[in-house]
Structure 1
């Protein structure tokens, strides 16, 4: 079958493509680069107004008239690609606004690609109308909006997906849901808001290519290496400030027994190499399930501080602190968990082994691809 994957976040569609290829399907990814990460894309949609004079002109024109040159540019590229974007058996959009355009142009692009193909599906794996609305309604103990709501972060407002609450994006959401076969959640954070929605087709765990991520048994005889990868544009949203505070607490008594590696906004290929020797990896705090970076680190046998809340542990039937460490929004709590691991290095080895096993059991990219195919087939027109 021919499958078109529209958009790319955190290598999800690349891993799904690799699984589908192993099952002998024809797969194409059309997307712009996911920020600085530069994941592989078959049909690259170039953003041409991101820096320098072009960006200044774009911003000024948008301020004066509401016209977004980047969105117009992206739509033009999509239209020119019609022959390569037509006649697929299944199409999956990674988000309601996968290209970062204005709501009107995202609707135009969605309608164009939908008119050229059959069986259109949507993923919920990043901020969208339903997930942001759910978080904004304070239905969770904490959420991705917590740093914004408590006034900690007013710098990177766009990172919180608040645009999806605007009338034009609500209208876009309604239009997309009226024209898709269904929506799939990639983890518990997106499953919870979608439960009982008539278009919801269920949770399919993020696919992870375990064939290219080698498991490395941790050696704990020397210093424990803690890896902290920071995406500058999501600094508070991911809880990096709390992780850094926890490291300060830990360093006061354990500086001789730990080594801290901090990297910022690093392309994916360099990021994977940089965390190679780490024992412990910081992923994110305001989450109930693991982010994609966390899953790939777990596949390599790292002990990851990430979302591992009771909703996740109940769903997968795992015990606390056996597969991943639940990173609560509390620096003292995180520091104590780190101290526990440093004083009990056998736990690092144990969790490392369990983490790899968990990824192989629940996130294997070929099994995941089979689940997607089954879901698409069962809901096709």
Structure 2
């Protein structure tokens, strides 16, 4: 099959592409660069108004006219790419707003690509209308909106996906759902809000290319190394403030037993190497399932503090604290879990091996690609 993957977050579509190619399918990714992460793309869409004078000009014109120059030039690039993104058997959009444009331009781009191709599917990956509404309606014990609702963070509102609750994005949501064949969830955080939706085709766990991620058996010689990678734009959203509070507790109590490595906003290729020597990785707090960074770290044999809630345990029939550590939004709770691992290094080695096996069993990129293919072909 000839498959077009639209948009890229956290290397999901790249890993899916590799799985599909291993099954002899022709796959193309068209997307804007995902910020500083710099993932590989077949057809990169350039953002031209991200800094300096051009950004100031764009913001001024938007304030005065509500015309977004960035969105317009992204749409033009899509139109120019028509010969290269037409006549595919399957198109999958990674999100309702795959290009980060205004709602009206996202609709235009969605319609253009849909009209040039045969069958269109959608991923629920990253914030979207259904997941944000579910969180905003307080249907979860906590969510990515918790730091915002608690008044902790009003700095980077765009990071919380609140735009999806605005009328123009709600209209976009309904337009897309009326047009697509169906929607697939990439993990439990998107599965829970979509359950019982008539267009929902099910959860397909994030594909991980384990061939590119070598398992490193934990070697504990002296201190236990804890890695904390911070994306500055998502500092509160990911719970980095709580992790830092927990690290203060643990370093004060066990400074002779731990070493903390903290990095900020690294490109993907640097980030994936930066935690090679770590035993424990602090990923994110306000989640029920693991995101991409956590899964890749687990594949490399790290013990990851991340989303590993009861719903996730039940879905995969697991016992808590055997595959990943559930990072609750409580610094003292996290510090106690860290202390438990520091005092029981054998547990670190056991969880590390379990994590790799879990990734191989449930997140293998080839098996994931087969599941995507089966889901698409059922509905062609």
TM-score, normalised by the number of residues in structure 1: 0.99
CA distance in 2, matches of 1:363, 1:98: 23
2:8 counterpart SS class: coil
Q: Does 1:56 align with 2:56?
A: yes
Instruction: Determine the structure 2 residue equivalent to 1:28.
Output: 28
Q: Does 1:310 align with 2:304?
A: no
CA distance in 2, matches of 1:278, 1:4: 37
CA distance in 2, matches of 1:272, 1:335: 25
1:122 counterpart SS class: strand
Q: Does 1:179 align with 2:182?
A: no
CA shift, 1:221, in A, is 2.3
Q: Superposed, which structure 2 residues align to 1:44-123 within 5 Å?
A: 44-123=44-123
Instruction: Determine the structure 1 residue equivalent to 2:360.
Output: 360
CA distance in 1, matches of 2:242, 2:317: 28
In the alignment, structure 2 segments of 5+ residues that lack a partner are none
What CA RMSD, in Å, does the superposition of the two structures yield over aligned residues?
Answer: 0.4
Instruction: Determine the structure 2 residue equivalent to 1:369.
Output: 369
TM-score, normalised by the number of residues in structure 2: 1.00
2:36 counterpart SS class: coil
CA shift, 1:222, in A, is 1.2
2:35 counterpart SS class: coil
CA distance in 2, matches of 1:35, 1:159: 12
CA distance in 2, matches of 1:312, 1:164: 26
- 1:215-258: per-residue Cα shift (whole Å, max 9, x none)? 00001121100000000000000000000000000011111111
CA distance in 2, matches of 1:283, 1:332: 17
- 1:130-183: per-residue Cα shift (whole Å, max 9, x none)? 000000000000000000001011111110000000000000000000000000
CA shift, 1:379, in A, is 1.0
- 1:340-377: per-residue Cα shift (whole Å, max 9, x none)? 00000000000000000000000000000000000000
Instruction: Determine the structure 2 residue equivalent to 1:43.
Output: 43
Instruction: Determine the structure 2 residue equivalent to 1:195.
Output: 195
Instruction: Determine the structure 1 residue equivalent to 2:336.
Output: 336
CA distance in 1, matches of 2:342, 2:189: 30
- 1:169-228: per-residue Cα shift (whole Å, max 9, x none)? 000000000000000000000000000000000000000000010000001121100000
CA distance in 2, matches of 1:27, 1:262: 36
CA distance in 2, matches of 1:118, 1:314: 37
CA distance in 2, matches of 1:192, 1:379: 22
Instruction: Determine the structure 1 residue equivalent to 2:282.
Output: 282
2:270 counterpart SS class: helix
- 1:286-324: per-residue Cα shift (whole Å, max 9, x none)? 000001000000000000000000000000001000000
Task: List structure 1 segments (4+ residues) > 6 angstroms apart after TM superposition.
Answer: none
CA distance in 1, matches of 2:122, 2:371: 15
In the alignment, structure 1 segments of 5+ residues that lack a partner are none
